[in-house]
């Protein structure tokens, strides 16, 4: 069990402590939340990477690595996340709990202080963030932006979001784009840094065995020295209720793939209008396309053997759903028809008792399992903070239990397809080019991982295990933050609505 304690440290700065002694580690995150903006996304994404390179006291990677090893392998990693149209940047830290290392002394305080120094007293030269660190991290950021193309499934989803949300902030990639990254200078990044410190909405979270007093004492010096200008508010997310022009846009692009990648974007419609029911959306998604008892898995993959994977994910903050599937080039139209037909089935109330109860059981398992992983638990409360859905995991479970199939039909009733994206092979002539009220765009800038990237990934029901061999390191422990936790995101007070295409 855990207890929760939230304080407002200053206007727009909140600290949430989740106290539990279940884990071997403690973890902490500081999130600076701004608006996702075209032209300013790459600088936001670059900032924590540059700050992580060195502090005034520990000015290079080697001295930072030394300090972290000395804290028994504590980790501090950059956070760059997209939540609806909020751009959240900062640091995530985790470290072994003092209890398991006799005589280690104050690992929590030392890690918090190092994280605070990264944020507040980075290595500077001539009053600016260091040019060499900026250039080196710019190169890495640009490599990451380009690397999106390496994962074709995620790439198809990224391209879909870019096209479908071209006129919305949501269409902006979490990492921005290559040109934007290239244009960053020490002057512009330092200005962006000051802007974040002064204006961002700040959510700090801790999860672990230390009591909230100790955590507050460890973090207060850092939080109180943030140079604040004005009261910060949570940025709003624009919600589009229905597809543009009321028709479905079709985009087909070619790459050297042996298996086609289909990505379909939907608008959630009226379900987004009032009292967003995140429990009902979770269960709708589980019935339709998440997990092995879902309609997409049992029909598109198992019954018709049309594809290797087919799954859906819902972004409750933005009000869109994405279905992603890997299909043979020749089968794309049949698969698409089946995916649409299964949605119709849910909308018509064709939900079996088995589908309904399986979806509930699996949702409850994943919510309860959230409480057993420190990073997931912390992320659950982060979501609940920024989306103003004030449930704890137990309450969310109760809401799931209380749902009826009628409620699921209501939530699904107004969902409409907006854009269909298909990635086909270089010489697959036959796949449907049968559309085109929408230009396929430049297709040049390969943007990457919008957080929706690998969310619905667990439905394939089977793994190739470690066939692939080498482990790609990096922000290992951070993965828990990005892989959509059970909570998903709800929609809070600060959302704007717009209905497209005059419907």
Partner 1 sequence: MTHKEYPKIGEELYCGRLPNGLSIYVAPKRGFNKYYAHFATDYGGADRRFELSGNWIDTPAGVAHFLEHKMFEMKYGDALTKLSANGADPNAYTSTDITAYHFECTEKFAENLETLLEFVSTPYFIEKSIEKERGIIGQEILMGEDDPDYCIYYNLMKALFRHNPLRDSVAGTLASIEEISAETLYDCHKVFYNPSNMVLCVAGDVDAGEVMEIAERVLPKEPGPVPGRDYGQKEGLEPVTDRVTAAMDVSMPVFIAGCKSEPVEDGPGYLRNELVSGLALDIMAGHSSKLYIRLYGEGLISNDFSASFDAAAGVAYTMFGGETNEPERVFGEVVKEIERLSEGGADAALFERIKKAAIGSQIRSFNSFEAICSGLAGGHFRGFDAYEAGEALASIGLDDVTKFFRERLVPANMAMSIITPRG
For 469, phi then psi, to 5°, come to 75, -115
140 forms part of the interface with partner 1 (CB under 8 A): yes
Q: Which of these segments, 56-64, 112-120, 263-271, 340-348, binds partner 1 (CB under 8 A)?
A: 56-64
293 forms part of the interface with partner 1 (CB under 8 A): yes
Q: Scanning residues 61 to 80, which ones bind partner 1 (CB under 8 A)?
A: 61-62, 65-66, 68-74
CB 320 within 8 A of CB 269: no
Closest CB to partner 1 among 1 and 230? Answer: 1
Closest CB to partner 1 among 65 and 191? Answer: 65
Closest CB to partner 1 among 429 and 468? Answer: 468
Task: Determine the Cα–Cα distance for residues 379 and 207; give it in Å rounded to an integer.
Answer: 10
444 forms part of the interface with partner 1 (CB under 8 A): no
Alpha-helical segments (H) within 25-71:
41-51, 61-70
Q: Binding partner 1 by CB under 8 A: which of 35, 342, 362, 419?
A: 362
Q: Binding partner 1 by CB under 8 A: which of 81, 83, 295, 301?
A: 301
Q: Binding partner 1 by CB under 8 A: which of 5, 328, 410, 414?
A: 328
Q: Binding partner 1 by CB under 8 A: which of 172, 371, 396, 495?
A: 371
Pairing, β 237-240 against β 495-498: parallel
25 forms part of the interface with partner 1 (CB under 8 A): yes
Q: Calculate the CA 353 to chain-centre distance.
A: 32
Closest CB to partner 1 among 485 and 491? Answer: 485
Closest CB to partner 1 among 22 and 499? Answer: 22
CB 134 within 8 A of CB 182: no
Beta partners for residue 129, in sequence order: 124
Task: Determine the Cα–Cα distance for residues 37 and 43; give it in Å rounded to an integer.
Answer: 10
The pair of structure tokens assigned to 179 is: 């040109």
Q: Scanning residues 462 to 491, which ones bind partner 1 (CB under 8 A)?
A: 462-475, 477
Q: 282 to each of 102, 278, 347, 359, how far by Cα in Å?
A: 43, 6, 15, 9
* Cβ 40 to partner 1 shortest distance, Å: 24
* Cβ 441 to partner 1 shortest distance, Å: 18
Task: Determine the Cα–Cα distance for residues 67 and 48; give it in Å rounded to an integer.
Answer: 18
Closest CB to partner 1 among 269 and 326? Answer: 326
372 forms part of the interface with partner 1 (CB under 8 A): yes
Closest CB to partner 1 among 25 and 42? Answer: 25
Beta partners for residue 262, in sequence order: 325, 422
Q: Which of these segments, 5-13, 16-24, 409-417, 428-436, binds partner 1 (CB under 8 A)?
A: 16-24
291 forms part of the interface with partner 1 (CB under 8 A): yes
Reduce the secondary structure of 194-256 to three states and give it as a string: HHHHHHCEEEEEEEECCCHHHHHHHHHHHHHCCCCCCCCCCCCEEEECCCHHHCCEEEEEECC
Task: Determine the Cα–Cα distance for residues 94 and 207; give it in Å rounded to an integer.
Answer: 9
* Cβ 395 to partner 1 shortest distance, Å: 15
253 forms part of the interface with partner 1 (CB under 8 A): no
Closest CB to partner 1 among 323 and 415? Answer: 323
Per-residue burial over 372-387, b = 16 or more CB atoms within 10 Å of its CB, e = otherwise: ebbbbbbbbbbbbbbb
Residues 6+ apart with CB under 8 A from 415: 266, 267, 268, 269, 271, 321, 343, 347
Closest CB to partner 1 among 85 and 355? Answer: 355
How many residues bind to partner 1 according to rule CB under 8 A?
83
101 forms part of the interface with partner 1 (CB under 8 A): yes
374 forms part of the interface with partner 1 (CB under 8 A): yes
Task: Determine the Cα–Cα distance for residues 269 and 264; give it in Å rounded to an integer.
Answer: 15
Q: Which of 340, 312, 343 is nearest to 325 (CA)?
A: 312
Residue given tokens 């850092």 in the structure block:
222
* Cβ 469 to partner 1 shortest distance, Å: 4
* Cβ 25 to partner 1 shortest distance, Å: 5
Closest CB to partner 1 among 21 and 198? Answer: 21
């Amino acid at each position: 069990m855990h207890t929760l304690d939230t304080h407002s440290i200053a206007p727009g700065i909140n600290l949430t402590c989740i106290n539990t002694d279940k884990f071997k580690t403690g973890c902490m995150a500081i999130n600076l939340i701004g608006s996702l903006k075209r032209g300013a996304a790459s600088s936001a994404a670059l900032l924590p990477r540059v700050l992580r390179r060195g502090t005034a006291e520990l000015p290079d990677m080697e001295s930072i690595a030394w300090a972290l090893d000395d804290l028994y392998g504590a980790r501090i990693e950059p956070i760059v996340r997209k939540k609806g149209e909020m751009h959240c940047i900062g640091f995530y830290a985790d470290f072994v709990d003092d209890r398991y290392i006799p005589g280690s002394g104050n690992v929590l305080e030392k890690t918090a202080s190092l994280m605070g120094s990264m944020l507040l007293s980075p290595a500077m030269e001539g009053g600016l963030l260091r040019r060499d660190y900026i250039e080196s991290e710019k190169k890495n950021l640009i490599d990451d932006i380009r690397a999106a193309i390496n994962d074709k499934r995620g790439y198809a989803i990224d391209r879909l979001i870019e096209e479908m949300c071209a006129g919305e902030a949501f269409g902006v990639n979490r990492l921005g784009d290559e040109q934007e990254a290239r244009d960053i200078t020490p002057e512009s990044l330092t200005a962006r840094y000051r802007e974040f410190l002064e204006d961002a909405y700040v959510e700090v979270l801790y999860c672990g065995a230390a009591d909230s007093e100790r955590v507050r004492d460890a973090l207060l010096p850092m939080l109180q020295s943030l140079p604040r200008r004005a009261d910060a508010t949570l940025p709003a997310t624009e919600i589009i209720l229905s597809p543009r022009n009321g028709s479905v846009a079709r985009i087909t692009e070619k790459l050297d793939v042996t298996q086609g990648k289909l990505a379909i974007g939907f608008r959630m419609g009226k379900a987004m209008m009032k009292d967003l029911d995140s429990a009902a959306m979770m269960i709708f998604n589980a019935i339709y396309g998440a997990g092995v008892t879902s309609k997409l898995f049992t029909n598109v993959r198992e019954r018709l053997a049309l594809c290797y994977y087919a799954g859906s994910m819902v972004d409750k903050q933005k009000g869109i759903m994405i279905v992603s599937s890997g299909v043979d080039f020749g089968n794309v139209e049949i698969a698409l028809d089946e995916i649409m037909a299964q949605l119709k089935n849910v909308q018509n109330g064709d939900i079996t008792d088995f589908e309904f109860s399986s979806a509930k059981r699996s949702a409850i398992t994943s919510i309860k399992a959230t409480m057993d992983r420190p990073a997931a638990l912390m992320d659950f409360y982060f979501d609940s903070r920024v989306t103003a859905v004030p449930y704890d995991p137990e309450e969310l479970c109760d809401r799931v239990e209380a749902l009826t199939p009628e409620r699921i039909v209501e939530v699904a009733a107004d969902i409409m397809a907006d854009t269909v994206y298909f990635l086909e092979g270089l010489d697959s002539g036959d796949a449907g080019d049968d559309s085109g009220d929408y230009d396929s765009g430049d297709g040049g800038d390969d943007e990457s991982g919008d957080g929706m990237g690998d969310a619905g990934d667990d439905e394939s029901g089977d793994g190739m295990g470690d066939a692939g061999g080498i482990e790609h390191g990096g922000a290992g422990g951070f993965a828990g933050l990005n892989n959509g936790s059970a909570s998903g995101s709800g929609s809070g007070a600060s959302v704007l609505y717009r209905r497209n295409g005059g419907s």
